[in-house]
Amino acid sequence: MIVLGIETSGDLCGCAVVDGGRLLGEVVSSVPGEHVERLVHLIGSLLEEISIGVDGLDGVAVSLGPGSFTGLRIGLGTAKGLCFGTGLPLAGVPTLDAMAETACPWTGNIVPVRDARRGEIYTASYSSVETTVERISEYRALEPERLGREIRELAGRGKTLVSGDALSRYGELLRGLLPDDVVFLPSERWIPSPRVVAAIGMRLIGEGKVLDVGSSEPLYVRPSEAERQAGKGKGPAGHGSSQY
């Protein structure tokens, strides 16, 4: 199965094509914030490089969030356009899942951490054996101190690895809260890999877990600022558009 993976959830954007367990090609833009201008060009260039047309694909996978509101919209919109025009199945890959698998191989606990701005971190917890990863918590947006306490508790039950761009802002704080044996990945492995998005998407498509192309939305972990303002005085806000 040949699947195109699209990753636009953060500052950079990229795409990759996998065929079964084989990577056919991958490219990542090194120009932060230029998703609109770069993504379609990157996809076209990659498909040309590996001599595969859109009609040679069996599916499309896209990083679904949480992450940058603008980036997620661009990625999902581009993926939807490809699938509308071709009838290809579309898989939505939770970004934190892709971050966890990008950190592999690892045996133990994995905690991806993405800067959610406004004093919070997007996160979830995973259990991994080499390259087999299972999510063991919900997707959440937590204050750094609370997350530090939860990781410390998790680390008390086994080897634990932390990875993600939230370490740029909160790495020193988290290191001060955690045992010395917690592993922090270097920055070059923080970004969810497009090839991993493609590989997870291939598995989802194989299992029949595909999105409705017409109604699919990014994975939202918290409401947008506008929705929070509108919801004041109306009880807890539900899920909605994340500004980041």
183-184 vs 160-163, strand pairing mode: parallel
d(CA 5, CA 36): 16
Each residue of 33-43: pLDDT tens digit? 566 668 999 99
User: Residue 119 belongs to a domain with what CATH number?
Assistant: 3.30.420.40
Are residues 18 and 53 located together in one domain of the fold?
yes
Give me the helix-helix angle, 95-102 and 194-206, nearest 10°: 120
Are residues 80 and 138 located together in one domain of the fold?
no
Dihedral over alpha carbons 44, 46, 49, 51 (to 10 degrees): -70
d(CA 112, CA 130): 16
Place of tokens 């990542």: 28
Q: What is the pTM (predicted TM-score) of this model?
A: 0.89
What's the pLDDT score for residue 220? Answer: 82
The residue among 106, 96, 198 whose CA lies nearest residue 142 is: 96
- Is there a domain that residue 36 lies in? yes
Are residues 141 and 198 located together in one domain of the fold?
no
The residue among 103, 104, 102, 80 whose CA lies nearest residue 91 is: 80
What's the pLDDT score for residue 222? Answer: 78
Are residues 12 and 35 located together in one domain of the fold?
yes
108-115 vs 90-94, strand pairing mode: unpaired
Dihedral over alpha carbons 227, 233, 239, 242 (to 10 degrees): 30
- Is there a domain that residue 126 lies in? yes
The range of the structural domain enclosing residue 135 comes to 104-184
Each residue of 95-142: pLDDT tens digit? 999 999 999 999 999 999 999 999 999 999 999 999 999 999 999 999
What count of other Cβ atoms lies within 10 Å of the Cβ of residue 2? 17
Are residues 83 and 119 located together in one domain of the fold?
no
- Is there a domain that residue 243 lies in? no
Q: Could you give the number of structural domains in the chain?
A: 2
- Is there a domain that residue 46 lies in? yes
What count of other Cβ atoms lies within 10 Å of the Cβ of residue 238? 10
